[in-house]
């Protein structure tokens, strides 16, 4: 009598084993990646509060300066283009 194994079962079992093996490898790679990320973050030296505030103020001032500069250049080119293509 014995147990009858359907003919396709060993092939399906191989597929499942192969799938699980690949899935476990991917999970291990993700675990390794995040472990390395944590390690690198722990090596990071973060700025002190005064340095952070000083750098932020410098960035804001530069952003405002370049916004004004770009606006002036844009207005100048716009004026020149209007003068060049003005019909008389």
What ranges do the domains of the chain cover? 1-44, 46-88
Residue entry with tokens 């020149």:
80
Predicted confidence pLDDT, tens digits, the chain (88 residues):
566 656 666 667 778 888 888 999 999 999 999 999 999 999 999 899 999 999 999 999 999 999 999 999 999 999 999 988 886 5
Cα separation, 74 vs 82, in Å, equals 12
Is this model's pTM higher than 0.75 or not? no
């Amino acid at each position: 009598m014995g147990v009858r194994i359907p003919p396709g079962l060993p092939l399906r079992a191989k597929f499942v084993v192969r799938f699980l093996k690949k899935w476990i490898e991917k999970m291990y790679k993700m675990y390794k990646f995040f472990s390395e990320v944590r390690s690198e973050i722990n090596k990071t030296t973060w700025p002190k509060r005064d340095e952070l505030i000083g750098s932020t103020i410098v960035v804001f001032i530069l952003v405002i300066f370049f916004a004004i500069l770009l606006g002036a250049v844009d207005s100048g080119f716009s004026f020149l283009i209007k003068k060049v293509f003005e019909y008389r």
